[in-house]
């Protein structure tokens, strides 16, 4: 794209006192030195460029030398092709529009779970970038929100977007989400707001019913269950022989609103026996409950199970690589931390390579 050359000040024409009146014409050519033409009533006058880049000298037919200096204070209006310059500027703008960056919205700071006491204000804030500027909408339990006396939405410098609840009530306890969208995409994140009556209502975890020892036959389902009372919400973690149990196709967890925590183990075998521990915790403290689980099997299978257990317990006895624990499918929401684990045995120690969509 060629740019028209323009003067930042008007030209001043200086003439010999014996010269007749003359008119000037300036022709601008992109990426070239301006072409200047001078003429009087008798016809064109030949120009000679001086050493100074902004000065020309010309000799009229009468032999008189005249000069003018474009950077001198304006005294005479000179017609510069303004229309052509305007067209050139518009063309430049159009060409730049083709290279304007675009970007789908994305979160640079996500919403976070909050807890607030009844009657106090709370703000839910996130940071979102996108080109063009995304449209922001707020939702409460999936229902579009509108500003009112207690709920205000606004944007701050730095692409920060905030939902403020000025006077929290128990009805404000909910899952809030924010959506950002522009022509190139849409993203959403959510958080949970807990509204309570203050620290005086908090309850340390306590077991209303503890775990009980169990003895099951191989192939059956093991169900370990306990009842916990606590406020605010507790987190529950299960261990077997000191090793944390994670969700798999075989192991599943559940914690309902009544405080009933359940661990289910499907297809029990000899290796599922051991000491199980349930740990419950919240801001006020944590507690543990333990039980012993025994899995019985036939004598013919017992020796084979023990050999398998020995191999798993002493990986160096294994020669070829084998999975002691395979990676499991995990469901997660955007922004969550995901840890994919496995255990591998082999002699010598095998090299482990991770692939995503069959790509290293």
Distances from the Cα of 238 to the Cαs of 143, 167, 217, 221, 269, in angstroms?
36, 39, 22, 17, 18
Peptide bond into 264 cis (omega under 30): no
**Count of alpha carbons within 13 Å of 131, Cβ hemisphere only?**
5
Higher pLDDT, 270 or 96: 270
In a domain, 267, yes or no: yes
Same domain, 192 and 134: yes
Query: Cα(101)–Cα(124) distance, rounded to whole angstroms?
Result: 30
pLDDT band per the 50, 70, 90 thresholds, residue 300: low
Same domain, 138 and 153: yes
In a domain, 3, yes or no: no
Same domain, 282 and 218: yes
Point out the least confidently predicted range of 19-23, 202-206, 229-233, 248-252: 19-23
Listed residues 147, 181, 199: the one ending a domain: 199
Higher pLDDT, 280 or 324: 280
Query: Cα(111)–Cα(333) distance, rounded to whole angstroms?
Result: 13
Distances from the Cα of 154 to the Cαs of 150, 188, 275, in angstroms?
13, 17, 54
In the chain, the number of structural domains is: 4
Dihedral in degrees, nearest 10, Cα atoms 276, 282, 287, 291: -20
* Residue range(s) defining the domain that contains residue 67: 12-97
Same domain, 121 and 210: no
Q: Considering the chain, what is the average pLDDT of its residues?
A: 76
Question: At which residue do the structure tokens 């730049």 appear?
Answer: 96
- Percent with pLDDT over 90 in the chain: 35
Higher pLDDT, 158 or 223: 223
User: For position 343, what pLDDT does the model report?
Assistant: 81
Same domain, 281 and 325: no
Same domain, 235 and 291: yes
H helices present in the chain, as ranges = 82-97, 299-313
Sort strands 114-117 and 185-196 into parallel, antiparallel or unpaired.
Answer: parallel
In a domain, 307, yes or no: no
Peptide bond into 232 cis (omega under 30): yes
Listed residues 44, 70, 97: the one ending a domain: 97
pTM for the structure as a whole: 0.38
Same domain, 113 and 187: yes
Same domain, 81 and 117: no
Distances from the Cα of 317 to the Cαs of 272, 309, 314, 343, in angstroms?
21, 11, 6, 15
In a domain, 283, yes or no: yes
Which of 341, 312, 345 is closest to 327 using CA atoms? 341
Same domain, 20 and 37: yes
Mean pLDDT, range 151-157, rounded to an integer: 91
């Amino acid at each position: 794209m060629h740019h028209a050359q323009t003067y930042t000040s008007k030209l001043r024409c200086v003439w010999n006192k014996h010269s007749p009146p003359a008119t000037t014409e300036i022709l601008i050519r992109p990426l070239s030195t301006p072409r200047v033409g001078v003429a009087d009533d008798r016809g064109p006058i030949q120009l000679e460029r001086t050493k100074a880049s902004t000065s020309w000298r010309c000799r009229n037919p009468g032999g008189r030398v005249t000069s003018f200096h474009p950077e001198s204070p304006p005294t005479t209006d000179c017609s510069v092709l303004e229309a052509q310059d305007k067209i050139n500027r518009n063309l430049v703008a159009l060409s730049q529009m083709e290279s304007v960056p675009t970007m789908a919205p994305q979160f640079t700071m996500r919403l976070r779970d909050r807890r607030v006491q009844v009657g106090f204000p709370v703000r839910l804030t996130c940071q979102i970038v996108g080109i063009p500027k995304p449209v922001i909408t707020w939702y409460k339990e999936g229902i579009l929100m509108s500003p009112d006396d207690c709920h205000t939405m606004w944007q701050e410098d730095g692409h920060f977007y905030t939902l403020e609840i000025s006077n929290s009530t128990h009805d404000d306890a909910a899952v809030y989400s924010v959506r950002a969208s522009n022509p190139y995409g849409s993203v959403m994140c959510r958080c949970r707001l807990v509204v309570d009556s203050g620290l005086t209502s908090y309850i340390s975890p306590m077991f209303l019913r503890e775990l009980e020892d169990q003895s099951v036959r191989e192939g059956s389902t093991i169900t370990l269950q306990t009842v916990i009372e606590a406020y605010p919400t507790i987190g529950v973690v299960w261990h077997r022989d000191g090793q944390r149990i994670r969700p798999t196709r075989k192991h599943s967890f559940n914690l309902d609103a009544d405080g009933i925590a359940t661990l289910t183990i499907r297809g029990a075998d000899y290796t599922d026996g051991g000491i199980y521990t349930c740990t419950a915790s919240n801001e006020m403290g944590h507690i543990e409950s333990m039980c012993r689980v025994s899995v019985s099997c036939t004598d013919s299978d017992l020796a084979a199970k023990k050999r398998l257990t020995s191999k798993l317990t002493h990986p160096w006895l294994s020669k070829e690589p084998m999975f002691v624990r395979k990676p499991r499918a995990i469901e997660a929401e955007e922004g969550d931390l995901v840890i994919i684990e496995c255990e591998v045995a082999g002699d010598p120690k095998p090299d482990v390579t991770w692939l995503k969509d069959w790509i290293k």
